[in-house]
Amino acid sequence: MQGIHSMKNVIDILDIKVSRTPQSRLESTDFENLPFGRVFSDHMFTADFEDGEWKNFQILPYGNIEISPAASALHYGQAIFEGIKAYKQADGRISIFRPYKNLERFNISAQRMAMPIIPEEIFMQGMQQLLEMDRDWVPSQEGYSLYIRPVMFATDPILGVHASSNYKFVILIGPVGVYYAKPLKVKIETHYTRAVEGGVGYAKTAGNYASSLLPTKLAQQEGFDQLIWTDAKEHAYIEESGTTNVMFVINDTLITPSTRDSILDGVTRHSILDLARSWGMPVEERRVTVTEVIEAAQNGTLQDAFGAGTAATIAHIAEITYEGKKYTLPEPSSRAFSNKALQALKEIRYGLVPDPFGWNHLI
Ligand code: COI
């Protein structure tokens, strides 16, 4: 079998130029107070795509990057990213959760956005060496992790509308705690759309997040935390929730929208489906109608509903509002499936139990 590990032997060792920060910020960082995405470690990894190839591999102190105000990413949005988490295990080792899945998706996003793909050795060795240098930034408290954010953006200083010839790839890392502090009140969105058939919904590209901001802000002004996105044509099918995939348990069956070009193919989504199947739970990946979810909420068969994503892990949905009517779901702490899945993910990630699926990439 030609597995990832046998392929690794033929992969080049990257020549990474390292310059260390003279002054670590580690001691002055409050690890008890880590709002998502605000704290970054001492270093970052960068690479440039120029003259048709990736070059200038560097680990350098985390800081601002100089780009032209004409850089095409700023104007035309050629920008993609990923979200990955690393955990400190009880024996001090660091495990990155399923990074090859994110590499695969990063390159799917790159292809859709007419950007160059990133070779495995750059993505993996850049990430690993950065984590090794900043390993003391990986939190050890339960519920905390190190968030890894690879990002690629177009840097051609040209206003003509075409795919850029030059790109920058950066990996940022920073310690994080929980993303959502409490269960979510969500509204099923029936006017705005996150993604359309034939569009870029399956790509993790900046514009998808930009276009979600106004509808989300409007919903928040109405007292909701997040939206449930529906299909663009009819607003009849459920697609995602906020920045995550969405899952329901109805009559003891785990149901989630099947992936398509308007839905992001989430790594947490895959992992939860694998867990459910391994427990013998019936799983349905298919189109999910708004009507069936609302009917299940009305007749008491909607046992669980939650968002599934890297940053949020499992985000319980407490209430769903549809066409002005609010449906209160079972108390999150009483939900059998999502709490079991959350616990199982935690135990695997922190190395508290064996890793039957081979998800942990230990460095
Ligand atoms: C993630 O879950 O990693 C995401 O990318 C969602 C959001 C923080 C943008």
pLDDT at 6 > cutoff 80: no
Q: Mean per-residue pLDDT for 199-210?
A: 98
Structure tokens at 280: 């013998």
Confidence band of 90 (pLDDT split at 50, 70, 90):
confident
Count of structural domains, the chain:
2
Please, what is the average pLDDT of the chain? 95
Chain CA centroid to CA 132, Å: 22
pLDDT of residue 1: 34
Q: How many other CB atoms are found less than 10 A from the CB of residue 193?
A: 20
131 and 167 assigned to the same domain: yes
Judge if 253 and 342 occupy the same domain.
yes
Beta bridge partners of 18: 59
**One domain, residues 147 and 106:** yes
Beta strands 313-322; 325-328: pairing state: antiparallel
Cβ(146)–Cβ(138) under 8 Å?
A: yes
Percent of the chain at pLDDT exceeding 90: 93
Atom of ligand 1 nearest to the CA of 147: 3
Nearest atom of ligand 1 to the alpha carbon of 179 = 8
> Is residue 358, in this structure, part of any structural domain at all?
no
Q: What is the pTM of this model?
A: 0.95
CB of 310 shorter than 6 A to ligand 1: yes
Tokens 């007419």 correspond to what residue? 114
Evaluate whether residue 354 is within a structural domain: no
Q: Are residues 307 and 259 in the same domain?
A: yes
Could you tell me which residues come within 8 angstroms of residue 103 by beta carbon, excluding any fewer than 6 positions away?
82, 118, 120, 123, 124
pLDDT band with cut points at 50, 70 and 90 for residue 142: confident
Count Cβ atoms within 10 A of the Cβ of residue 306 and give its class: 0-12 exposed, 13-18 middle, 19 or more buried. Answer: buried
CA 101 – CA 120 distance, rounded (Å): 11
User: Do 151 and 226 have their domain in common?
Assistant: no
Strands 184-188 and 226-230: parallel
Region 311-317 average pLDDT: 95
pLDDT digits (tens, 9 = 90+) for 246-260: 999 999 999 999 999
Instruction: List, as one string, the DSSP characters of 219-237.
Output: HHHTT-SEEEEE-TTTS-E
| 72 close to 164: Cβ distance less than 8 angstroms | yes
What pLDDT is stored for residue 143 in this prediction? 87
Please check whether residues 169 and 203 belong to one and the same domain: no
CATH number at residue 43: 3.30.470.10
Nearest to 139 by CA among 24, 30, 42: 30
Q: Whose CA is nearest to atom 3 of ligand 1?
A: 83
Do 124 and 207 lie in a common domain?
no
Residue 245 CB–ligand 1 contact under 6 Å? no
- Judge if the beta carbon of residue 351 lies within 6 A of ligand 1: no
State the pLDDT at residue 121: 96
Task: Examine the domain organization and report whether 116 and 248 are in the same domain.
Answer: no
Which one, of 132, 138, 133, lies nearest residue 31 by Cα? 138
Question: What's the gap in Å between 84 CA and the centre of ligand 1?
Answer: 9
Ligand 1 pocket check for 109: Cβ under 6 Å: no
Q: What is the pLDDT of residue 11?
A: 60
Selection from 240, 254, 147 nearest residue 193 by Cα: 240
The set of residues, in sequence order, having a beta carbon less than 8 Å from that of 5 and lying 6+ positions away, is none
Could you tell me if residue 63 is inside a domain? yes
pLDDT single digits (tens) 273-303: 999 999 999 999 999 999 999 999 999 999 9
Last residue within a domain, chosen from 178, 206, 234: 178
Range of the domain at 165: 4-178
Q: How crowded is residue 232: how many other Cβ atoms within 10 Å of its Cβ?
A: 18
